[in-house]
Amino acid sequence: KQEVTQIPAALSVPEGENLVLNCSFTDSAIYNLQWFRQDPGKGLTSLLLIQSSQREQTSGRLNASLDKSSGRSTLYIAASQPGDSATYLCAVLDSNYQLIWGAGTKLIIKP
């Protein structure tokens, strides 16, 4: 059974710092991995999607990497801003075409 774990559960850093969020999964048989952002009352926003054949994806200050064989992904946020404060969720699309989710990392960027 696929399980997704995110570390840390919460993170608070000063504005301007670069930071890394971690996601690990137990079964490497995935179609893709996605990083989402969850803001209260606003639902989920997809940030980056990495297909299983890809190693990384970049969007602006965000860079996500995928090492499928080791079951790990990282989300790198450069030059963090207070507006980056949110819960970041990692999800893998498993062999049954179901999205399996991590519990999220709650990120607070202090001005």
Contact positions vs another protein (CB under 8 A): 4, 31-32, 34, 36, 41-46, 49, 51, 89, 91, 93, 96-104
- In terms of CB distance, is 60 or 97 closer to another protein? 97
For the chain, the farthest-separated pair of C-alpha atoms sits apart, in whole angstroms, at 43
Q: What kind and span of H or E run contains 37? A: strand 30-38
What the block records as the tokens of 24 is: 């690990």
Rounded distance between C-alpha atoms, residue 75 and residue 19, angstroms? 8
- In terms of CB distance, is 77 or 91 closer to another protein? 91
Q: How far is the CB of 30 from another protein (least distance, A)?
A: 10
Q: How far is the CB of 99 from another protein (least distance, A)?
A: 6
